[in-house]
């Protein structure tokens, strides 16, 4: 397997915070049979993005799609992530990384969230 997906989340001190992200990872992995799907965190949790990239590069992965699980492209996506990727690119030059947009930039996801919000409003 030469390609992988990394779902990249912020991280938190509370270990339970990880659960929805792990469920999302499993859901994506079911849909992408034959593609490795990893979860990585910016801070406070493991594996870090560095850990995930080291493992994937060590297994011969050459293409990574990094999906930030952030609603909007704030400072972490505009500043921290590019700095991390620059260092990782120097360390693993054979691995190309494509970064997907922030979740809130996807029209379909915005529509799904709007539907969910409306459903919550009308819940009895």
Closest by Cα among 61, 72, 43, 44 to 5: 61
For position 109, what pLDDT does the model report? Answer: 93
Which active-site residues does the annotation give? 10
- Dihedral class, residue 56 (left if φ above 0, else alpha if ψ from -120 to 50, else beta): alpha
Confidence of residue 82 (pLDDT cuts 50, 70, 90): very high
Cα atoms found within 13 Å of the Cα of residue 117, Cβ hemisphere only = 6
pLDDT over 80 at 117, yes or no: yes
Architecture of the domain spanning 3-121: 3-Layer(aba) Sandwich (3.40)
What residues does each domain of the chain span? 3-121
pLDDT score, position 1: 76
Examine the pLDDT at 96 and tell me if it is beyond 90. Answer: yes
Residue 54 has pLDDT above 90, yes or no: yes
Average pLDDT, the chain: 95
């Amino acid at each position: 397997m030469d390609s992988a997906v990394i779902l990249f989340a912020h991280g938190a001190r509370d270990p339970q915070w990880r659960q929805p992200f792990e469920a999302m990872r499993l859901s994506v992995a079911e849909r992408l049979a034959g593609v490795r799907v990893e979860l990585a965190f910016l801070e406070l949790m493991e594996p870090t993005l560095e850990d995930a990239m080291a493992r994937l590069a060590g297994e011969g992965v050459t293409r990574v799609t990094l999906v930030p699980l952030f609603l909007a492209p704030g400072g972490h996506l505009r500043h921290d992530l590019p700095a991390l990727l620059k260092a990782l690119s120097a360390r693993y030059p054979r691995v190309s990384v494509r970064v997907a947009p922030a979740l809130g930039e996807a029209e379909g996801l915005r529509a799904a969230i709007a539907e969910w919000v409306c459903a919550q409003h009308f819940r009895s």
